[in-house]
Amino acid sequence: MVSFFKLVIQTLKVFILFTGCTILFYYGIMYLNEEYQNYHRYDEPEGAAIKVSNAVKNEESSSWYERLILFYLNGE
19-35 confidence digits (pLDDT tens) = 999 999 999 999 999 88
Per-residue pLDDT, 22: 98
Per-residue pLDDT, 19: 98
Instruction: Give how far the C-alpha of residue 33 lies from the chain's centroid of Cα atoms, to the nearest Å.
Output: 10
Is 28 within a domain? yes
Is 54 within a domain? no
What whole-number distance in Å separates Cα of residue 71 and Cα of residue 32? Answer: 36
Average pLDDT for residues 42-70, to the nearest whole number?
73
Per-residue pLDDT, 57: 61
Average pLDDT for residues 8-23, to the nearest whole number?
97
Written as one string, the DSSP assignment of 32-44 is: HHHHHHT--TTSP
How many structural domains comprise the chain?
Answer: 1
Contact 34, 28 (CB under 8 A): no
Per-residue pLDDT, 60: 58
Is 76 within a domain? no
Full residue range of the structural domain in which residue 18 is found:
1-38
